[in-house]
Amino acid sequence: MSNKNLSLLFTGQGSQFPEMGIDFVHKYDWVKERYLLSSKILGYDLLEAQRDQSLLNLTQYSQPLIFVFSSIVIDLCKDYLFKNFSKITLAGHSLGEYCALYFAEALNFEEMLEVVKHRGDSMSIVSDPNKYLMYAILKKEDYKIDNSLFGDGVYMANLNSDRQVVICGLKDNVNKFKDQNPIGKFIPLNVSAPFHSDLMKESADLFCEKIKNKLFKKINIDLISNHNLINYKNISENDYSNQLSNQIHSPVMWSETIKFILKEEISTFIEIGPKKTLLNFLPKDFQGEKYAFCSTEDINFVQR
């Protein structure tokens, strides 16, 4: 790693797995304390909950669990990163945006965990696997996908890369879209709500109401939002809650986010989260360094 421009990417929902964080618990006493504190805030034992696959993949559980894990990695490596890179730009995929805001110190750990809990709870009210469906599409290279393709209960939820998009909506409508549009390989996602679509508007309004009194601190580091590529550093901290609310029911324009960040002449990308996913969406012609911070082994160098 070198003293150049860094972009930190924070993984979102879908990266969770049952034993995540256990290696950190075994290595650091303060991590045990963080899980105990988190369990007290959330009202259930996090480590026990994530061993239960039926709970782990539920929105109201997976989102806090991923945030707690990511916060541990952040607190272990943040000082090192600030010392070794001249400029840092942040972005998080969906839930990952909250991890990015935690890195930027918009809220302390307890406050951000409460916000993430409200997000997961609010988004879970739309959850119904019998009603909604999401597909990741690995599209054929000669097909262009834009909003003109969608409508009638089908939405583009994520534009992850030039090759992958995610669609969602009413189950029957989405399957009809799949049958009528042979644009690539359709991969069903293990979620039960139409994330990042107009169908999440009720969740977004509920979430905004729950956090309206949360006092965010103004950040002084570039953090590019999923919603309209807005830089949190350039807006008032009083607008953070509205920005996060809009993000819930707006598409994640991840490909555009990465293209925007690359204008900063980034030399290194580091992904923080339970699993490496976002590095796979980087342009193939990116010539810099790429690292995933997902385990104690990945960040052993911090303790040297």
Whole-number Cα distances in Å, 228 to 48, 246, 250, 276: 38, 10, 9, 25
Domains held by the chain: number: 2
Q: Are residues 150 and 246 in the same domain?
A: no
pLDDT over 90 (residue 148): no
pLDDT digit string, tens, across residues 215-252: 999 999 999 999 999 999 999 999 999 999 999 999 99
Whole-number Cα distances in Å, 250 to 148, 188, 189: 16, 20, 18
Q: What is the pLDDT of residue 303?
A: 64
Q: Are residues 209 and 87 in the same domain?
A: yes
Q: Are residues 182 and 40 in the same domain?
A: no
For 110, the domain range is 5-126+197-303
Q: Are residues 234 and 251 in the same domain?
A: yes
Q: Are residues 179 and 263 in the same domain?
A: no
Q: What is the DSSP letter of 74?
A: H
Q: Are residues 32 and 88 in the same domain?
A: yes
Q: Are residues 102 and 206 in the same domain?
A: yes
Query: Residues 191-200: what's their mean pLDDT?
Result: 91
Query: Residues 185-206: what's their mean pLDDT?
Result: 92
Q: What is the pLDDT of residue 3?
A: 54
Query: What CA–CA distance (Å, rounded) separates 23 from 25?
Result: 5
Bridge partners (DSSP) listed for residue 18: none
pLDDT digit string, tens, across residues 248-280: 999 999 999 999 999 989 999 999 999 999 999
- Residue 103 in contact with residue 67, Cβ under 8 Å? no
Q: Are residues 77 and 139 in the same domain?
A: no
The CATH number of the domain holding residue 172 is 3.30.70
Q: Are residues 114 and 43 in the same domain?
A: yes
Q: Are residues 86 and 203 in the same domain?
A: yes
* Model confidence band, residue 2 (pLDDT cutoffs 50, 70, 90): low
Q: Are residues 271 and 137 in the same domain?
A: no
pLDDT over 60 (residue 36): yes
Q: Mean pLDDT, the chain, as a whole number?
A: 93
The CATH number of the domain holding residue 67 is 3.40.366.10
